[in-house]
């Protein structure tokens, strides 16, 4: 498996070079959104209106952090289940989103759409929220502040560790991994 040090935003060359199962360390800016923010963005797009923040070329991290303690930039901040965002992902890819970060697999339609739109889905380790917060250097709420933990934020990553799950070549790290180690079922 290859290892990549990536400075965001993701360029088309970098996206081309990523393969399912590769390790990557992300540095730079990402957006965050969970269920309700996704629903709102897709409703806005459906009306033909502009999103509160431009998502072209961006990565969205599926996370709802714990509240920061005094002196902290962010609380624990690991990934949430990506599958819940599947119904909203294709319109966002059509609007120019270049990648997402979450845990667990994506449905076949999203996997296909990622390929079509030359975008990537990365896995971060679920349940490692304390550790992952150490790779987040700044956080600002940028939209939907009323949603609290579910508000959209901009986060500055510093070497944030991820694994490439769905690449633009049709690879899926979860199905490849399972096939390699399956003995029963």
Partner 1 sequence: MREVHVDQIRDTVSRLCQEASCLLPEDVVGALETAREREQSPVAVKVLDQILDNAELAREEMLPLCQDTGTTILFLDIGQDVHITGGDLRQALVEGVGAGYTKGYLRASIVDRPFSARTNTKDNTPPIVHTEIVPGESVRIQVMPKGGGCENMSRFTIMLPAAGKPGITEFLLQTVDESGGNPCPPIIAGVGVGGSAEHAMYMAKRALTRKIGDVNPDAEEAAFEAELLEAVNGLGVGPQAIGGTQTALAVHMMTHPTHIASLPVAVNLQCHSARLKEAVL
Alpha-carbon distance of 5 to 162, in angstroms, equals 11
Give the phi and the psi of residue 154 in degrees, each rounded to 5: -110, 125
Give the nearest distance from C-beta 147 to partner 1 in angstroms: 8
- Looking at the Cβ atoms of 88 and 95, the one nearer to partner 1 is 88
Residue 2 binds to partner 1 (criterion: CB under 8 A):
no
- Out of 75, 87, 91, 96, the only residue in the binding site for partner 1 (CB under 8 A) is 75
Alpha-carbon distance of 114 to 94, in angstroms, equals 10
Residue 123 binds to partner 1 (criterion: CB under 8 A):
yes
Residue 25 binds to partner 1 (criterion: CB under 8 A):
no
Residue 87 binds to partner 1 (criterion: CB under 8 A):
no
Query: Buried b vs exposed e over 53-62: b needs ≥16 C-beta within 10 Å?
Result: eebeebbbbb
Q: State CA 35 to chain mean position distance.
A: 13
- Out of 63, 93, 95, 143, the only residue in the binding site for partner 1 (CB under 8 A) is 63
Closest Cα to residue 164, out of 18, 15, 13, 55?
18
Residues that bind partner 1 (CB under 8 A): 1, 21, 23, 36, 63-69, 75-78, 80-81, 83, 103-105, 123, 125-134, 148-149, 161, 163, 173-174, 176-185
């Amino acid at each position: 498996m290859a290892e990549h040090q990536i400075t965001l935003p993701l360029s088309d060359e970098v996206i081309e070079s990523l393969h399912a199962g590769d390790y990557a360390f992300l540095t730079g800016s990402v957006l965050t959104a969970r269920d309700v923010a996704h629903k709102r963005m897709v409703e806005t797009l459906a009306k033909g209106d502009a999103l509160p923040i431009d998502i072209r070329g961006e990565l969205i991290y599926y996370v709802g952090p714990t509240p920061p303690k005094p002196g902290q930039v962010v609380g624990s901040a690991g990934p949430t289940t990506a599958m819940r965002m599947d119904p909203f992902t294709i319109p966002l890819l059509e609007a120019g989103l270049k990648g997402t970060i979450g845990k667990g697999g994506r449905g076949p339609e999203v996997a296909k759409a990622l390929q079509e739109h030359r975008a990537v889905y990365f896995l971060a380790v679920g349940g490692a929220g304390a550790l992952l917060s150490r790779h987040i250097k700044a956080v600002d709420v940028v939209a939907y502040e009323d949603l609290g933990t579910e508000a959209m934020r901009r986060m500055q990553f510093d070497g944030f560790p991820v694994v490439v799950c769905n690449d633009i070549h049709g690879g899926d790290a979860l199905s490849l991994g399972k096939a390699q180690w399956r003995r029963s079922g």
